Structures are given as structure tokens and as C-alpha cells.
Amino acid sequence: MDASSRISLTRLTDKKCVPCDLKELRPMNEDSAQTLMPQVAEWNLVNDNGVLKLKRSWIVKTFSKGLDFFRIVAVLAESEGHHPDLHLVGWNNVTIEIWTHAIGGLTENDFILAAKIDKLDVLDLLRRKLSD
Ligand SMILES: C[C@H](O)[C@H](O)[C@H]1CNC2=NC(N)=NC(=O)C2=N1
């Protein structure tokens, strides 16, 4: 098994984001991004004027629960050193976009962060917070 095979077998949620200012970081092309999409199946791969991003939305019961959600995501983002764009649209639509600003596109960091946000979801932390 070569190194790249080993890397692809490691779950995103078992990985840690690497600093974005590493010189060797390059934006993924759409084909590479598509190979990781099954691990973040709730997210959409969007092309924002040539910049690929991951995007997911949730409906929340109250504005305040949207902010609670952001607080939880912020703790994760700080521990990863990688940060999402957080949108609270209107009062009940929480939208998160993830991309690597430093290089203007997607890196594995973005997928790791998305997968870890989903893991919060799986643990029911967010849902309980959002729909109580
Ligand atoms: C040095 C450190 O990795 C950078 O400042 C990080 C912080 N968080 C970040 N988050 C995202 N999404 N993109 C970045 O380019 C980025 N840069």
C-alpha cells in the first residue's frame, strides 16, 4: 500500500487540520473534491465564481439557537485552527460555507472540518440545541 492509499483510508474525523499557510497546499480540483464528498454527504459542493466551497444549511427554531450553534462550531473551529464562514440568514436559516481562504479553494482541511461538524450532529448535540 502506498502513502496516498493509506491517507485515503483514514477517516476525515480522525484527522486534524494543518496550518493553511503551508506552501505545498494547493486547491483541489472538482474531481478530487468529489472523491471526498461521500464522507460529507450532507454538504453541497458549490462553485462560487470559480472558487469551490462546501455548503450546508440548517433551519433553527429561534435566532438565539442559531447563535448557540455557531458557538459550538466556533469551539471546534478554534481547536482545528480552521474556520468556516457562518451565515445566519433571516432569523432561522443557519448556513455554513467552508473553504480555505489562504489559497482560494478547497483543501482536505475543509472536509475535515465539515466531517467534524457532522459528527457533532450525529452526537445529537446540535439537534438538541437547535430544536428544543
Ligand atoms: C495560519 C492559519 O492556518 C491561518 O490563519 C488560517 C486560520 N483559519 C483559516 N480558515 C480558513 N477557512 N481558511 C484559511 O485560510 C484560514 N487560515
Q: Please list the residues that pair with 93 across neighbouring strands.
A: 59, 89
Q: Is any ligand 1 atom within 6 A of the Cβ of residue 83?
A: yes
Q: Is any ligand 1 atom within 6 A of the Cβ of residue 81?
A: yes
Residue linked to cell 461538524: 117
Q: Is any ligand 1 atom within 6 A of the Cβ of residue 102?
A: yes
**Residue 126 Cα, ligand 1 centroid: separation in angstroms?**
24
Architecture in CATH of 47-132: 2-Layer Sandwich (3.30)
Q: What does the pLDDT read at residue 130?
A: 53
Nearest to 90 by CA among 55, 66, 72: 66
- Cα separation, 75 vs 82, in Å, equals 11
The ipTM of this complex is 0.93
- What residues contact 3, with CB distance under 8 A and at least 6 apart? none
The full set of domain ranges for the chain reads 47-132
**Residue 20 Cα, ligand 1 centroid: separation in angstroms?**
5
Q: What is the tens place of the pLDDT at every residue in 81-118?
A: 999 999 999 999 999 999 999 999 999 999 999 999 99
Q: What is the tens place of the pLDDT at every residue in 22-72?
A: 667 889 999 999 999 999 999 999 999 999 999 999 998 889 988 989 999
Q: How many residues does the chain have?
A: 132
Residue linked to cell 481547536: 79
Q: Is any ligand 1 atom within 6 A of the Cβ of residue 101?
A: yes
- Cα separation, 48 vs 87, in Å, equals 15
Q: Is any ligand 1 atom within 6 A of the Cβ of residue 86?
A: no
Kindly state the greatest CA–CA separation across the chain.
50
**Residue 64 Cα, ligand 1 centroid: separation in angstroms?**
27
pLDDT > 50? residue 4: no
**Residue 113 Cα, ligand 1 centroid: separation in angstroms?**
12
